[in-house]
Amino acid sequence: MGASKADFFTKEQNDLALLFKAMSHPARIAIIQYLLHVDSCICGDIVNELPLAQPTVSQHLKELKNAGIIQGNIEGTAICYCLNLETMQKIHYYFGEISQKLENKCC
């Protein structure tokens, strides 16, 4: 069997691509922005913030959780979601490198 195209890239490049793919939907960006403004929340709170049905929001939460962007803890019958700080630090570092390069006028 041949090598997949992912094999031609570093682990870091593949990991970042998976993160950005998971973030590449406006509803997921809205969820991340909401979580940035609250310490934590239950799924129902997120559903109230988005113009989407509860099952659709749950699917977006699942994609973000599978990518490691958010994490959730079960509290009674609800799941309390928050951003995964380790993942957010990786994203921050990546964009920090880009920002630094732009400040140094790379072009």
pLDDT tens-digit map of 21-77: 999 999 999 999 999 999 778 888 899 999 999 999 999 999 999 999 999 888 888
- Neighbour tally for 64: CB within 10 Å: 26
- pLDDT surpassing 70 at residue 1: no
Q: Tokens representing 1?
A: 């069997």
Instruction: Phi first, then psi: give them for residue 70, nearest 5 degrees.
Output: -125, 165
Residue 11: what pLDDT?
94
Q: Tokens representing 40?
A: 């934590």
Q: What is the pTM of this model?
A: 0.85
CA distance 79 to 43: 6
Domains of the chain plus CATH, in order, are 10-103 (1.10.10.10)
3-state secondary structure of 53: coil
- pLDDT surpassing 90 at residue 6: no
Which of the four pLDDT bands, split at 50, 70 and 90, describes residue 7? confident
